Chains A and B, each alone.
Chain A
């Protein structure tokens, strides 16, 4: 094994690779944003899906408010006696109003607005509730009752979530591939720039490993330096965006809780990029040297 020896010049202003730390910073920044977006959406989808799992919403439509109120009481009794149902609650009018106000505006929910009666049904997690059979049962009370276990739109939601997650993963892979390409290009440029030095090192008996070590060390430093700058800017961006979204979307959409533990994975991004740059530079140098005498 050759002893490590940094023989490459440190004249930054003239080096072909002087912009590489900045490129790595941008790559880590984009990767961190893609990963954060994916993690936040994943966490948000999980929160929403968990809150809806084991719940069925019953909706009774009708213009006669008193009639649908009576039907709601009757349906509540029917459901309460049904096995596998843990609790049934008629959602009070003021709660429905509070849910609608962010969308329709305060004071716009008037008495003549045909707001349906709604029941929130909690099922046993371990039991299977046949929604069709249950709907048939409550339809004996009224035809204008509808049951929703959110499965249909949750499945759309999951499709969207997976699409976004795989897109983010695809973006990450593309960024990694772009980073590898840039490091290969940078390594080759640097080797061309320092061809004379490499030749002299060879002629004086330097092993390929010694030359590769000098390059891998330098490119690892570029990766680490750029990576940390990129990560810091990415974290500031995420913090700023979340604050902005919270201010704008407050009330309309429930913001997902920040998955701090999962987000801590971002801290290893600079190291991943540094290791990637190091390995790529090493392989590139050894391959290029292999073509020499």
Chain B
């Protein structure tokens, strides 16, 4: 599903923030991306959600080298990837419902069916009474839940999340993790960048550890998080 082959990345021809990274993620697997601040977690995710191209190496996703994909190919590939950004990146002029519906509308969907689906998901993440609120009026945790709902609404093949539980209370954090695990069971490949070592240990999925732009090790297997949840 995702394979990095000797990938390096730099911003504006500066020094490499990711250095000769190679790994392979199987379809339907779940992984945590760990490492200290500045290790390159967000940069690695940017490469995976096709916001940047690597300066060297190949990135194989969906059976093709996406680092060489043309601009016209990118939208189709991006629609198969769900992203939860660290800073949420919600559109302030749209309500929570509209934000979550955005991927569906971009894909050409319209009508009441979209709203039904979106409202159901927002209810599931505990935002039944905040559906028409604009992001500027939402708390950090609420924004995060809207961002997660937006990322999963289209049942992506790959879900990438950058610190998805950073702004929510432990109970909601577990609830959201349960959502990720359930999505993973449905076949979605999931990569979560996090500092939350407790969460990593609790779920016990495989771990990609980055330090100074180098991938140090991949370890771990999935615990039975579902039963605990």
Contacts and interface: CB of A to CB of B under 8 A. Distances in A.
A, B from the same assembly = yes
Interface of A: 2-3, 5, 7, 9-11, 196-197, 199-208, 210, 290, 293
Interface stretch (B100-108, B186-194, B211-219): B100-108
A205 B89 contact: no
Contact of B78 (A5, A203, A208): A203
Contacts of A201: 102, 106
Instruction: Pick the 8 closest A-B CB pairs, nearest first.
Output: A205-B79, A9-B93, A205-B78, A205-B75, A3-B108, A206-B106, A207-B75, A204-B103
Interface centre among A2, A10, A203 (most CB of B within 10 A): A203
A197 B99 CA distance: 11
A44 B89 CA distance: 63
A204 B89 CA distance: 11
The contact size tier of chain B is 20 to 34
Dominant SS at the B interface?
loop
B52 interface: yes
Given A5-B106, A202-B78, A204-B102, 8 more contacts: A7-B102, A10-B93, A200-B89, A201-B102, A202-B75, A203-B50, A204-B78, A290-B71
Contacts, number: 54
B152 interface: no
A5 B93 contact: no
A204 B91 contact: no
Contacts of B50: 203, 293
Contacts of B49: 203
Contact of A203 (B53, B72, B83, B91): B83
20 contacts: A5-B105, A9-B93, A10-B93, A196-B89, A197-B91, A200-B89, A200-B91, A201-B102, A201-B106, A203-B49, A203-B51, A203-B83, A204-B79, A204-B103, A205-B75, A205-B79, A207-B72, A207-B75, A293-B50, A293-B53
